[in-house]
Amino acid sequence: MRYLFLFLVCLSSNSHAQIQGEDEVYLNSDIIDPEFPGGMEMFYAYLMNKLDKNKIKSEEKLLVSFLVNKEGTMEKIRLLKFDDMDTAVEILRALKNFPKWKPAYKNGNPIGVELKIPIIFR
- What's the pLDDT tens digit per position in 67-102? 999 999 999 999 999 999 999 999 999 999 899 999
Of 14 and 121, which is predicted with more confidence?
121
| Statement: residue 19 has pLDDT above 60 | no
Among the residue ranges 15-29, 38-52, 78-92, the one predicted with the least confidence is 15-29
Q: Pick from 93, 120, 99: which is nearest to 35 by CA?
A: 99
User: To the nearest whole number, what is the mean pLDDT of the chain?
Assistant: 81
| Statement: residue 9 has pLDDT above 50 | no
pLDDT at res. 31: 82
pLDDT at res. 20: 41
Separation of alpha carbons 25 and 20, rounded Å: 7
- Calculate mean pLDDT across residues 37-62: 92
For the CA atoms of 108, 29, 22, 40, what is the dihedral angle to 10 degrees? -90
Q: Per DSSP, which regions of 1-122 are E strands?
A: 18-19, 25-26, 61-68, 74-81, 104-106, 109-111, 113-120
Separation of alpha carbons 59 and 112, rounded Å: 32
